[in-house]
Structure 1
C-alpha cells in the first residue's frame, strides 16, 4: 500500500480493533486494510456486532487501535495532535446530542470549535463556513428552529451540516440513515455522495443499507472477523465477497441484480 500517495486521504494497514481492559484485549476484528482517495464516498458494511462502529471510532481516534496502522494524509494518525486532527477529521456518532434546546444554527456553529478562540467568538470566516454548510445541505428554512422540533431526517441533515461546518477533509459518520424510511435513507446517502464528489471530501460511513450502498458508493469495506474485503462495489460482486455475508440457508446474494434474496 502506498501511504505516501498525496491523493490517499485515509488508509489502514493490517489494523486490529476492539477494546483493552487492563492487560486483557478483546479483539473484535483484525487485518483491516484499505485506502480512500479524496472525494470518495465509502461504506463500511457487515453483520451486527462485527465492529463497524468500533472501526469508525478507532479511525476518528475516539478509541485506540489494538494493532496495525492508520494513516491520515500519509502520516500516522497517532502523530497528529488533537487540534490538527480536529481540523482534518469530523466524526458524527449515533450518541444523542447534548441539548435539543439549541437552535439548528447554534448546533451547526459548534462545528467551528476547533477554530474559535477560548470564548468561542465566531469570525466572518466561521459564519461563512456555517452558511455554506447550511446551503449545501439545503436546510435554510430550519435555521432558527429548535432541534427538538425536527424530524429524524431533518436532525440527521443538521448533524451532517455541523460536520461540514468543521470544514475537514474527512467525514466519518456512524449509521447516518438509522431510523429513517427508505426515501429518506436514499436522500441522505445521495446527499453524502454529492458532497463527496462536489467538495472533494472523503466520506466514510457505517450502514446496514448494503443494497443502496452498492448503488451509490465509490468503495465499500465488507467487515469480517479475520479478514475484511475492500474495493469498488462491482469488484466485490465479481469476487463473490457479498455471498457469504449472511447464512446462505436464509439469505442469498444475487450478483446479477446486486440484491439479497430471502430463501423461503
Structure 2
C-alpha cells in the first residue's frame, strides 16, 4: 500500500449499481479519508439509497470496485466486514419494546461469543456510545417512548458501539424538524472528526451538507461530481441538479432559490 493511501478508508472506482442486470447509476468514483464526513445528494430515484446499501454489502454491485482499507469488499467475510462497516438504514427497528441500552448493545454482536455474552471492552464501548450521544440518563427508557430525534440518536449510538472505521447512514434526518436535523448532522461531524471514523450519509438536505460536510458526492446519473463543497460550487455542479426554471442555485450563498 502506498504511503498516501494509508489514510484512505473507502475507495470506489467506476462503480455501477442497480438490481440484477438493470443499472440505476454508473461511473461512480470517489474516495474518503479517515475522519471525514461526507454526503451523497441527488434527486429522488437517482440511486442514493441503492449506493448506500451496495457499500454496506446488502446488495451486489454490477461492475467496478469497492475497497475498504485497500482491500476489495468481496474479499471480506461477513463477520469481518461487520467490524469494518456499520450501517443505519431507514427501516424500522424489529422491536421498540427494547430499552435504549439493549438496542445499543446489539452493536457489539460482531465481537461477542456464540452465546452473545459481553465483556468489559463491550461494556466500555456501549457506555462511551451512550455518553457520546447524550443518552446515558435515558438508557433504561423503552424505544417506543422516544421521539424521532431521540430514536435516531439511539441508532447512531448502536453504530458507534459497533466501533467500525466506516459508518453509513441512509437519510438520518428524515422526519426531523430543522433544529434536530442540524443537531444530528453536527453530531455526525463531531463523531467523524473526534474519533477519526469515516461517516457517509445520504440526504436531501443539500444546503446543510454544503455547510457541514468535508466532501460531497452528487449523483446525477452522468458525471457524478465529487469533492469539497467549495470545489463543487466553483465548478457549478449544484446548478445542474434541478431544472433551472423551477429551482436555481445561488453560488454566492450556497443555497437554492425558487424561481417565481
Q: TM-score range by the shorter chain?
A: over 0.9
Q: Match of 2:212?
A: 216
| Equivalent-residue separation in structure 2 for 1:213 and 1:235 (angstroms) | 13
- Tell me the SS of whatever aligns to 1:114: helix
Once the two structures are superposed, residues 188-210 of structure 1 have per-residue CA deviations (whole angstroms, 9 ceiling, x without a partner) of 00000000000000000000000
Deviation for aligned residue 1:4: 7.3
What pairs with 1:1-264 in structure 2 (closer than 5 Å)? 5-20=5-20, 25-264=21-260
Moved over 3 A (4+): none
Q: Which runs of 5+ in 2 are unaligned?
A: none
TM normalised by structure 2 equals 0.98
Q: Which runs of 5+ in 1 are unaligned?
A: none
TM normalised by structure 1 equals 0.97
| Equivalent-residue separation in structure 2 for 1:79 and 1:226 (angstroms) | 29
Once the two structures are superposed, residues 149-176 of structure 1 have per-residue CA deviations (whole angstroms, 9 ceiling, x without a partner) of 0000000000000000000000000000
C-alpha contact 1:3 1:71 (8 A) present in aligned 2:
no
| Equivalent-residue separation in structure 1 for 2:75 and 2:3 (angstroms) | 15
- Tell me the SS of whatever aligns to 1:213: helix
Deviation for aligned residue 1:54: 0.2
In the comparison of the two structures, how many residue pairs are matched?
Answer: 259
C-alpha contact 1:193 1:217 (8 A) present in aligned 2:
yes
CA separation of 1:258 and 1:161: change in aligned 2, threshold 3 A: same
